[in-house]
Structures are given as C-alpha cells and as structure tokens.
A and B are shown apart, each in its own frame.
Chain A
Amino acid sequence: MSSPKQKISHVEVRMFKLGTGDCFVIKFFSGQSTSFKLMIDAGCWSGDSDKISPYIMALKEYVQNQIDLLVITHEHKDHVHAFDVCQKLFTKDFTINEIWMGWSENDDDPRVSDWKREFGEKKKALFKITKKLKSINEDPETRSQLSFEKGGDELFSIKENFLASLSAFSNLHFDDDPVGYKGLLKGMEVVKKLGKSGGVINFRTPGEIIEKKVNLPGVRFYILGPPSVWEEVKKEKGKKGESYEHNNDLPINEGFSAAALALDSLDKSNLCPFNPKYAADNKVESYKNQDNYWRNIDNDWLNSSGMLALRINSKTNNLSLAIAIEFEESGKVLLFPGDAEFGSWESWHKINWGVKSRTCKGYLTTEELLNRTVLYKVAHHLSHNGTAKKIGLDMMTNSELVAMATLDYHNISSHWKSTMPNMAIIDDLLGKTKGRLLVLNERDVPYDRKKNIQLTDEIIRHRLTMSEDERNSFIENLNSDNPLFIQFRIEV
C-alpha cells in the first residue's frame, strides 16, 4: 500500500448484523483494488463471545486482518461491546494502523480528565442506585408489603419495569461492579490498549479536515463532533421544530448523585443540608410503628434516578465522534454521526470550515455537507433524539440519499423499543430516500404501533416511488443476502 493510489471509484459500506448497535466497515476502491479500509465501532446491545465471534471473524476475513483506520464514536456498549467479548480476535492476527476517537477521550487533556472523573462519579451513582433498587425489589418483604394494598401488585410490577429500564441504562455504561471503576468500559479499554500496542490513537476535534493523500486521494474527513463547547455536550434537545422532540432540559442533579454515591457510607453528615445540631437521634414513633410502614418513604427518593440515567445517556451520546466523508470529485458525502443528539448537531453548524464552497461563492457550510449527503448512518438507532430535524434531516436533500440504521428488534433492550423507531423520523427518512432505508434487521420492527403496521410494509410501499433506473441501481448496489451483514455500494 505504499505506492500512490488512483482516485477512488466506489465504496462498499458493510453493516454487520451484531444486533442493535454499530459495526461498520467501509472499503474504498479504486477500480478493482482496495485502497483503504475504514472500520467504525464494533458493538451491540448484548451478546457473548459465541454469539458475536462469527461476525467478527467474517469482518476480519473481509478486511484480510488489517484495518487502515478504526473510528470509535463513543463509550456505549452498543458501540464497543465486541472489543470486550471478542478481545482475542482483535488482539491476535489483526492490525490496526490508526485509531480515531473524539477529543473528549484524550485522558492526557486535564480538562477531559477532570470532567471524566466527575462524570464517572455520576455513572457510579447510577450503578449504585440500580443495585440498591434491585436489592429492594428482591427483598420478599417489599412485595408482601405492597400486595396488602389495593393495586399494590400492579405497583410492584411498575417498580420492576422501572428497575429494568434503569438497569438497561446502567448496563450501557458498565460491564460489572464499578468498585474498581477506571472510567472505561472494557471494550473501550481494549481499544485504547490496541492503540498503545500498535496503531496510533489520534483524538479529533471539530473543525478538522483530514486527508489521507497517499491512500485516499480526493477524500476528505470532516470532523463534526463532539462539540468543543461543554454546554453543547450537555444539550440534548432543541426548540420546537428543530429536533424531533421538545422537552425541558435540566442539568444533572448534583445533590442527588452525591447522596447516591454515599448510599453505603456510614457517616453522611457532610451531606446534611442543615447544621448538625438539628439532627435528631431517634426515629419518630409513628414512623417506627409497623402499622404505618405502608406510608414510609425510605426508598422513594431513589426514583429520581431515572432522570440521572437519561442525562448520563444523552451526554455520552453527545460525545460521539461524528464525521462526514467527502469525495472531492463528485462532492458526495457519507455521514457517520455515531449517536450524536441535538446539541452536537447544533454545534456542527457553528464550525467555520475555512474552505471554499462547491456550490456558491462563499465558504463551505455544514449545511452544504448535509445537502450533499448520499449515505446517512442514522444516529441512535432511529430514536427521536438521535436525528435533528430542521438542522439535520431537513437539510439532507440529495436525491440519491440512502440511510442505514442499526436497529434489531431481536437483539435490543425491551426498554428501548418504545423510542425506537420514531415514526416521525421514519416518515421523513422513507420520503427522502424513497424507501432506501436499510435497517440492520427489519423483522418485527413496527412502523405504527397503534395501527399495527410493520416497518417492512412501509418500506416496500415507499420503494414503489423510485423510478425504474433508481430501482435498478438500488437493487444492483444492495447486497442483503448474507445473514451476517448488509452491504451497499456507492459510486463516488
């Protein structure tokens, strides 16, 4: 791979079907020969080595045990889990020349390490509460106490569901007990080690434009996110119409996570909001009285953890390394945003690229990149908070647009199903792509839950709107026969 390459003629984007989660390889070709192999993430919601190995082995075979560039978007299990469970496959007979991560993963940056420590504490708080709630629910006393009340059994099942959702969030960030928490998911740790042992890790900041002139003439990588401003990392939603959802945006509740972290400690006096002289030594009689247990509130405060979980999740998503890959000759763009949420999308538009626009006199804008996007990797598995509307999808106006979404109803946390897929996004995507929406596993994914319409039917319906030429070329470029992956070829 040392001699200068010809211009890139086409790419193959291969989406491996590990389950809900991202694992992509993009092969850049010049004519028949492979010029460059880019891998983005290797994760899925859950699965052990036995389940995931076949995919990774197929991936290795496809890339002949060598990757030019590995991009890790962010530290969630559905993006890095495979590195954990298939660690050996990645460390043996596998070469990675270079790794990219977002600037927010650079542990040598003091700003990052401070924030990570703080953020890590919040994650730990979430884990602790999940554990505590689990032990409460498992205590037979909890259930029998509740079943005494009318509707108590239903309340108990509600508590169980809440805990299951909370665990789902917690599990995204933790492999197991974080007592020795180092701030990393194991999968992430493995990747960082890979970087140390062989390839070099480069931390990317928004606004960078990177070219690989030797292997990839005429290809540019635009780094869109993670935002360099913390405020934008923290922001997950826009105003009405800007994003697909509109909600109040509250910060993480510091006092709450502090108390959560101190769950097991004996001395909590430093957390007391009042002067210690006001502390009473004894319990109030009527609170102690067993007849009144049904009214006690020892654990109700733990339910505020749902909010904490949501915030942590969004923040991590907003730390996604988001890139746009542009082909100089045709101007076509492939967009891989990780799981970026609104705050990140918004920040992309503030970037001053400093290069000329292809379409007008001024400078290139992010909007123009979105206009020219022909392949969009849908952020956050088709949920409402992954894709910005006005400043995102609405700007993807290219008639060739194809979308790839990593959603699999047969391997997903059941608690994500209510948000994935979001009907409004599906509608927009299907309209814009004329049905060229490639879902990791379409089977049983609903389109309209109420009317019981399946996504597959909607996709088929929209594909009828393609012209004959469009349809022929779509069918020619699509390879969906293999059980391990879906592949789409794009002339560039």
Chain B
Amino acid sequence: MEKSEFHFYPNPKFRRLRGYAFDPSISLKLDTSSVNLVEYKIKWEKIEVGPVGEYIEVIDFDPTIGQFYKAVDLDHPNVLSQHGLDPSESNPLFHQQMVYAVSMTTIERFEKALGRKILWSSRLLNRDKGNPEYAQYVKCLRIYPHAIRDANAYYSPQKKAILFGYFLANPIEDSIMMPGSMVFTCLSHDIIAHEVTHAILDGMHRSYSEATNPDVLAFHEAFADIVALFQHFTFPDVLAHQISKTRGDLLNENLLAQLANQFGDAIGFYGSLRDAIGKVNVKTKKWEAHQPSPMDYLTVFEPHKRGSILVAAIFEAFNNIYRLRVADLLRIASNGSGILPLGEIHPDLVKRLSIEASKTASHIMNMCIRALDYCPPVDITFGDYLRAIITADLELVPEDPYNYRLSFIDAFRRRGIYPNGIKNLSNESLRHPIHENLGKSGQGIDSDSDDLFRIIAEFLTDYADAIKYTSNRKEIYEITKDYISGKYEDEDGIDLESKKRILGLHRRIEVKFNKSPEFSKLTGLVFGSDYHLLGIKTSKKGNYKGAAFQIQNLRLVSRTGPDGNQLNQVVFSIIQTSRYKIVDGSFLPIPSDESESKNHSLFRGGCTLIFDLDSKKLKYAISKPLIGFGEIFSDNYKIDEKRLKAEYDFQSDMVEKVESEYSRYFGSKEAKLNEPFSFLHQH
C-alpha cells in the first residue's frame, strides 16, 4: 500500500502523550518518582508543528534572548509510536508537548462538564480607530512556554496568550533542591492547568477580571486552582499511590491536595506553593492541617490567599462526600468497625477507594464548572458562587443521596462565607428563585411580560436549533453573534431575504422591554426613561434611543443528568454600566451623552437570564442590580448605593488592603502589567 493511502485507516480516537503528572521535582523524590510520569490521553485532532491545533497554538519564542526554538512535530512517526517525547527538562520540544497535553486535557474537562465547545474571549477593538467590528473571533490561545525570566506565569487577557517563565531556583535549604538549577514553569501540570483555566474563565465571564469586590479576583484564582487540583484525581496511578500512602484518608499530607511543588521549593517555600488542606509549619518544619476560620474571609484580601479559602472549602466538601462514599468499603475491610488495622491497606481496597475518590472528584469538578452558567455576569462573590453551585446542581440532579449540596453549604458556612440577601442556609433558600407559574398572580411577572418572555424563549429555541449540531467553533461564534446583534445582510453586504434575516436579541430586548418596569424589576437594570439619572449611556440605533446595555455570553446549556433527565436551557447575560463620580461623598451620574473620560468611575450591573426551552419560559434571573433595592417599585429609580459604596470604598482602599509593596511604588494598574492573572502574587 502507498503511504498516501492513509485514508484506509480511520483517525485514532486519542493521542497519547507522556508528561509529568505534577512537575519534574516529583520525579527526583524516591517515594514519588514512580508515579510522576503519566500518559495524557487527548482527543485526536489534526495538528501542525508547534504544536498548533484547533484550540491552542504553541509558539516557542524566547524574547529574553530573541531566540525561536525548534518546534515539536507530534505527528512524526517516531514521536507517535512512543507516545510522545521522553519527559525531559532540557529538551524544549518536550516542554511544548507538555503544555499542549495539559492544556488540551483541561479544555476537554471543561467541554465535558459544560456540554459545549469552549470559546476564548474575543479580541475587543477600538471602534474609534475605524475598526469595522468591535469584537474579533480568537481561534487559538497562544502559548509561549519560555516567555519571561521570572518565577511566574500568567495569562494575558489582552493578548489571549499564556506566558510561562523560567528562573534559577533559590531553595530555602540546599537539601530540598539544587540551588541555581533552572526551573521551568511550563513543566508544571498545576501551573499550566491553572493558567488555561484563567483563559477559559475569561472567555465565559469577561467582567470577572475587574476587581469590584474582594472576591472577584480571588474567585478567578480559586477557580483556577480548583481545576488544577481536581485534575490530579484523574491520574489513576497517582491516585492509587497516594491513597495507599495516606491509608485512604485524604486529609493527611498528600500530593493530590498540593499545587506547584517544584515552584514552591524553588522560590524558598517548604513544600508546595499552595495546599488545600495544610502546610509545612515554617518553624517546626512539620506538616499541619489548616483549621478553617471565619476570620480569614474577613481579613485576607490578597487574591491568591483569599482564593485559598474557597479552594479549602471545596476540598472539604469533596473530602466529606468521599468519606461518605467509602464508609461502607472501610466497614467491609475492617470487619464492621470502620477502623482500618495498622499497616498497608489491601491493593483491592486501594483500587476501590481510588475509584470512589476519582468519581467524587469528577462530580465536584463538574459541579464547580457547571455553576459558572448560573453566576451573575459581574461582581461575583463566593456567596454567589455557592448559590450557583446549588442551583445548577438542583437543576440537573434532583436526588442527592450523598448530600453533595449539603457538604458544600457546610464547608462554606464553616469559613463564614454567606451569600447576601438570603434568610437561611438551605438548599431551598440558596437556590435562585424560579420564575415559573407567576403569570396571573399579583406578584412576579405580569402576563404581558410572560408573553414577551415566551417570544424570546421561542427565538432562543431557534438559536439552540441553529447551534446544536454545529461543531465548528468559528461558526458557533458567528451564529451566536448574529443571534445577539442581528443579521440583515449576507457576507457580501446584500440584504437577506426576510426569512433568513435575524432580528437580534439585543434589538428584541430594546423593542420589547423598553420602558418596561417589569423587566427592570426582574433584572435590576434600567430600561425606562430614567436611565440618565443613573449615569447610563444613551444608545442610538435606528429608531431606538434609550439606555445602553450589552448582551454577553449567549450559550446553550444542554445536559443530561444522572437520572436521564434532559436539561435544555439557553442562557445569556445583560450588562449595564453606570458612569459616575463621587462628589462630597455622594453619587453624581455622568450625563448620558458625554463621551468617555478617564475621570469617570464605572459601576456595572448585570443579570444572567436562564430560559427553559421545554416550557418556553424564563426560569431564573440572577441579578446584580444597578437599581437600589426598594427603589425598584418606586417611579424614580436610584442607584444601588449600598453596593456602589462598597465597591468604591474597596477600590479606594485597595492600596491599604490588597496591594503590595510593588503596587505601592508602581501603581496598582501598573503592577498588573505583568501579572493580571499570574500564578504567584510575588511582590
């Protein structure tokens, strides 16, 4: 057979690539070296030298010395046949393979949980410069494995790129690590997964990079850590090894709950950089478990450290569920006592415990990722996230025999994290209120609005149909854009026939809900004529003249629950921005027609609307209102001064609370120049 007749062979399902489960340092320790090498199993895709695939583009350029490195060809038979290059610190081609493998693993994890393709955040353009579009599709995330000479790595939302650093190790003691050895952040599973998660989250919730309250950036960090952490549980050998080592008790010191070991060692920590369950005490050099304290949530503001509170809460929830799931196994293995005899535990038990741990971790990760669809689009707090987790899970998994939800609530409570505005902590009150069957009763949505929502829901069903069977990401992007902004002409600028025209969602909301107090009540945003009182810009499009707003993140949520129940929802977010100044301690709106200026402060409100396609109804409206509570029923809307004041105070206090020596000298925005989403807040 000719070489060119490859089409006789079907594409493989997976590409197997060898890599580190953690980072190179684990391979150097006797007790862990055996489990550090894993095979990443990535969905087969056509890739070019780089590697460059559908989602990521690895470019190995080292600007610090102006050098490009040779790029790996993962399709080369010698590479394919042995499942990738040998793991090696000194071979940059392996570095490229490693970032590709871990990035793709992380991306697949998200797609599996979300049930749809992920898109990177689009490039936003300055319209004043004559750009025809304000947003541009970004196909590939760029990955630069050797971009900076610094003990750091970061995702740049502006360049849609991840920049990995390398540096000389400076361990606290020479026995921990060879001083002066080179450490590459792009070889750390945790750092790669963490940064890719930042990028994915930015693609879903762009506003989460704005520090509007102490939780927002901390959430970004925590979420990235959670993904990196729970991905450890997908490596069967590592899992079995650590379960055997801890005798099944994952609250003991173990690799699974640690992040960035080599990195931590190299910059002079004892052990890993971050640890969900404990830390080596600097004085005694012994490992100690963390005790949750509600004080932390009140006093810790640096995003990574504050994020650790959330990570610890999630890990605790995980551990409680895992313990519940394995209680019977432990009883069986211990003749009913539940207390294991001394010594090593039986390999069969290890295997069974591993299965449970892995299953639980996978559930937890799915819950954490899916909750993103039920979060408000701006100004997220840990409490909002808890509500999102509960709501998302109730939607998909009505029965909860292992008390997953309660475990979450309990772990948050133990850390003093409570959502605003709920009366008590229970599944019912944490779940967002459902906007069902409110039609004719005096409360809630009136029947006119209900009709309008039904029309919107039907439109969204069209969207769902259009997108359901599209697997091309660019097409998904384009179709989604058309359904938001409308489509009236074809690519060549010729008017479409009326059947093919799409009246966009943005336009529909303008037309249908303009001056609708009901819709304002529901979203907390201003659609009436009072918008200028709140400093909202005027939007003029065609015949419409009214409050400006943005529609973000239109997406299809189509999932199947464990009981076979099918979820068919379309979700989108509306964001509205108030421009203001504080004069003598009070809110002064900027006139709606005034152009942008540096001196304006921005205050965003937003609402995530979730439509159920089966009932053609609006199901949830998850809102961060612009309009103050209590003002919503009055005729003159006023800004939500409580939230605004809190945001304003937080932002002006940031220097004292969050900021470092570095930002004191260089300015807080300037400090973000090289660390918007960096792995380590090093300054």
A interface list, Cβ under 8 A from B? 147-155, 158-159, 161-162, 165-166, 169, 237, 245, 247-248, 250-251, 253-256, 259, 262, 268-269, 271-275, 278-284, 286-287, 294-301, 303-304, 306-307, 310, 384-385, 415-416, 418-419, 423, 450
Contact = CB atoms under 8 A, between A and B. Distances in A.
Given A295-B142, A297-B161, 7 more contacts: A148-B129, A148-B131, A162-B673, A253-B149, A280-B70, A284-B59, A295-B161
Interface residues of B, number: 70
A255 B167 contact: yes
Nearest to B663: A418
A268 B65 contact: yes
B110 interface: no
Q: Which of B148, B662, B667, B670 has the most CB of A within 10 A?
A: B670
A161 B149 contact: no
Contacts of A149: 123-126, 158
Nearest to A283: B68
A253 B167 contact: yes
Interface stretch (B88-96, B457-465, B567-575): B88-96
A152 B147 contact: no
B267 interface: yes
A259 B144 CA distance: 18
A268 B661 contact: no
Given A255-B149, A284-B71, A418-B664, A161 B63 contact: no
A149 B184 CA distance: 31
A299 to B, nearest CB: 7
Interface string B117-137: 000000111110101001000
Contacts of B63: 297-301
28 contacts: A147-B129, A150-B127, A155-B158, A162-B670, A165-B665, A237-B661, A245-B661, A247-B661, A253-B150, A255-B149, A268-B66, A268-B67, A271-B65, A272-B65, A280-B71, A281-B68, A282-B68, A284-B61, A284-B68, A286-B52, A295-B142, A295-B161, A301-B148, A301-B150, A304-B149, A304-B150, A306-B662, A306-B670
A262 B65 contact: yes
A306 B152 CA distance: 14
Contact of A303 (B93, B660, B669, B673): B673
A235 to B, nearest CB: 12
A279 B70 CA distance: 6
Contacts of A151: 124, 126, 158
Contacts of A384: 661, 664
Interface of B: 50, 52, 57, 59, 61-71, 90-93, 123-127, 129, 131, 134, 142, 144, 146-152, 156, 158-161, 163, 166-168, 170, 182, 184, 267-268, 598, 652-653, 655-656, 660-662, 664-667, 669-674, 682-683
A280 B665 contact: no
Given A149-B124, A272-B65, A301-B63, A251 B662 contact: no
Contacts of B93: 278
Nearest to B67: A279
A69 B173 CA distance: 44
Given A280-B68, A306-B671, A418-B667, A255 B159 contact: no
Q: Which of A153, A251, A255, A268 has the most CB of B within 10 A?
A: A255
B666 A165 contact: yes
A247 B661 CA distance: 7
Contacts of A166: 666
Contacts of B149: 253, 255-256, 259, 301, 304
Nearest to A168: B665
A293 to B, nearest CB: 10
Contacts of A159: 673
Given A271-B64, A272-B65, A161 B662 contact: no
A415 B670 CA distance: 12
Nearest to A252: B170
Contacts of B671: 306
Nearest to A166: B666
A152 B655 CA distance: 24
Contact of B665 (A148, A255, A418, A450): A418
Contacts of A147: 126, 129
Nearest to B666: A165
Nearest to B653: A450
A303 B158 CA distance: 15
Given A161-B667, A310-B662, A450-B652, A297 B159 contact: yes
Nearest to A281: B68
Contacts of A296: 159
Contacts of B661: 237, 245, 247, 310, 384-385
B305 to A, nearest CB: 11
A259 B673 contact: no
Contacts of A256: 64, 149-150, 167
A294 B93 CA distance: 25
Given A295-B159, A297-B161, A418 B655 contact: yes
Contacts of B125: 148-150
A163 to B, nearest CB: 9
Contacts of B68: 279-284, 287
Contacts of A416: 665
Contacts of B184: 273
Contact of A294 (B123, B168, B665, B669): B123
9 interchain residue pairs of minimum CB distance: A150-B124, A303-B674, A268-B65, A259-B64, A256-B149, A162-B670, A280-B68, A301-B148, A304-B150
Contacts of A450: 652-653
A253 B166 CA distance: 10
Nearest to A154: B598
B665 A278 contact: no
Nearest to A267: B65
Contacts of A251: 170
B70 A307 contact: no
B245 to A, nearest CB: 30
A388 to B, nearest CB: 15
A237 to B, nearest CB: 8
A419 B656 CA distance: 10
Contacts of B268: 250
Contact of A275 (B90, B126, B161): B90
A362 to B, nearest CB: 28
Nearest to B170: A251
Contact of B69 (A250, A274, A286, A385): A274
Contacts of A278: 69-70, 91-93
Contacts of A419: 664-665
B67 A158 contact: no
B594 to A, nearest CB: 17
Nearest to B672: A158
Given A275-B90, A415-B666, A254 B67 contact: no
A310 B148 contact: no
B44 to A, nearest CB: 23
Nearest to B154: A300
A269 B91 CA distance: 16
Nearest to A309: B665
Q: Which of B50, B144, B148, B268 has the most CB of A within 10 A?
A: B148
Nearest to A257: B149
Nearest to B675: A303
A159 B672 CA distance: 10
Contacts of A284: 50, 59, 61, 68, 71
Contacts of A303: 673-674
Nearest to A424: B656
A262 B147 CA distance: 16
Q: Which of A153, A247, A273 has the most CB of B within 10 A?
A: A273
Contacts of A300: 63, 147-148, 156, 163, 674
